[in-house]
Amino acid sequence: MYSRDFLEQLYRTLYTIRVFETECIKLYRQGFIIGYFHPYLGEEAIATGACAALREDDYIVSTHRGHGHCIARGGQLEKMAAEVLGRQDGYCHGQGGSMHIADVTKGNIGANGVVGGGIPIGVGAALGIKIRGGDEVVIVFFSDGASNNGVFAESLNLAAIWDLPVVFMLENNQYAVSSPIEEMTREPDLYKRAAGYGVTGWLVDGNDVLAVYEKTKDAVDTCRKGKGPVLIEAKTYRHGGHHVNDPGLYMPKERMEYYKARDPVRIGRKYLLEKGGCAEQDVEAVERQVNQRMQEAIEYAKNSPEPSVEQFLQEVEQN
């Protein structure tokens, strides 16, 4: 029922996110990357499955943990790598960094340093679509942490009263920084909140790329027909702490083992082998290609110049 090409594309994306984050963590440890770096490790299936359900003219809004969304939306590895290294050839010429990569011409409104900050922005993109009479859809990625911020309630309500084409993709990785969701809310099934706003709410296994794809596709179709918004809660788990310097000591070992046994990348690989009829050596060839591309991206980033301080000072003089 799924073509081999499609499953290969999904796996390529899953694996690319995994490799990008893993390699960047190495670069961080070597001192090439500074500041905050929030890996998407363990959550790869959500961005991959969700973005696979979109058209080129649709939009996404991302989060501080945004590299996965950017890659799944077709982001270029070399420009991403250059940006997280703060270089001139990065997406934002080194002015944004890991938490602020945006490429609105490619439908990526951007990552966001403020938890929940992107939610109303996505609603606004959808409002613009509605005013123009378009049929594009916006996926707003956000987290269980953001779900306890006031803008989530407000934005869900705005999207509901205006019937906006928004898929609220709640990535429930079960921690708001370090606070476990079951301590931060009495009802940890967050999709149930949709009902109170007259919105359709669905739960999906966030580690299963095909499950995420199917649910998102239904949600996107619903929105395209003018029957949005839809809230999807994708349950998942981070493979580490909040950022690269957080060892995540508050994450129980058994729960981590449970989710690592349900590794989204491995599940996607299995799909490609079993449902896609792909041979082991062909999967390995995909992996080699991705690794090769990532090494090229790192070289590109390392060779990219630092942005010019003189030019920067000249530009801000006029502000």
Partner 1 sequence: MSGAVDNAGVQTDRQIMYREALNEALREEMLRDESVFLVGGGIGRRGGSYKVTAGLLDEFGPWRVIDTPISEASFTGAGVGAAITGMRPVVEILFIDFTSLIIDQIVNQAAKYRFMSGGKGKVPMVLRTQGGSGNGLAAQHSQSLEAWYYHVPGLKLVMPSTPYDAKGLLKSAIRDDDPVVFLEHKLLYMNKGPVPEAEYTIELGVGDIKRRGTDVSIVAWSNMVGRALSAAEKLAQEGIEAEVIDPRTLVPLDKQLILESVQKTEHLVIVQEAVRRGGVASDIASIVQHEAFDSLDAPIEIVAGKNTPIPFNVHLERASVPREQDIIQAVKGSLGA
**Residue 297 makes contact with partner 1 by CB under 8 A:** no
Count, in order, helices (H) and strands (E) of the chain: 12, 8
**Residue 30 makes contact with partner 1 by CB under 8 A:** no
Positive or negative, the Cα torsion across 31, 33, 34, 36? negative
Reduce the DSSP state of residue 230 to 3 states and report it: strand
Cα 50 to Cα 55, 97, 248: the distances in Å are 11, 24, 27
Of 136-165, binders to partner 1 (CB under 8 A) are 150-151, 154-155, 157-158, 161-162
- Which one of 103, 144, 171, 263 is in contact with partner 1 (CB under 8 A)? 103
CA–CA dist 191, 170 (Å, integer)? 8
User: Do 135 and 86 contact (CB within 8 A), yes or no?
Assistant: no
Total residues at interface with partner 1 (CB under 8 A):
44
> In the complex, what is the shortest distance from the CB of residue 190 to partner 1, in angstroms, rounded to a whole number?
18
- Which one of 1, 31, 56, 105 is in contact with partner 1 (CB under 8 A)? 105
CA–CA dist 275, 273 (Å, integer)? 6
**Residue 309 makes contact with partner 1 by CB under 8 A:** no
**Residue 231 makes contact with partner 1 by CB under 8 A:** no
Q: Which lies closer to partner 1 via its Cβ, residue 61 or residue 230?
A: 61
Report H helices in the chain. 4-29, 44-51, 67-72, 77-84, 118-132, 150-161, 181-184, 209-224, 253-261, 264-274, 280-303, 309-317
**Residue 90 makes contact with partner 1 by CB under 8 A:** yes
**Residue 34 makes contact with partner 1 by CB under 8 A:** no
Q: Which lies closer to partner 1 via its Cβ, residue 120 or residue 228?
A: 120
Q: CB under 8 A: which stretch of 27-35, 121-129, 186-194, 237-245 binds partner 1?
A: 121-129
- Which one of 75, 86, 110, 229 is in contact with partner 1 (CB under 8 A)? 110
The strand pair at 59-61 and 108-110 is best described as parallel
- Which one of 49, 75, 86, 96 is in contact with partner 1 (CB under 8 A)? 96
Q: Cβ-count burial of 187 within 10 angstroms (0-12 exposed, 13-18 middle, 19+ buried)?
A: exposed
Residues contributing to the site for partner 1 (CB under 8 A): 59, 61, 90-96, 100, 102-105, 109-110, 112-114, 117, 119-132, 150-151, 154-155, 157-158, 161-162, 316, 319
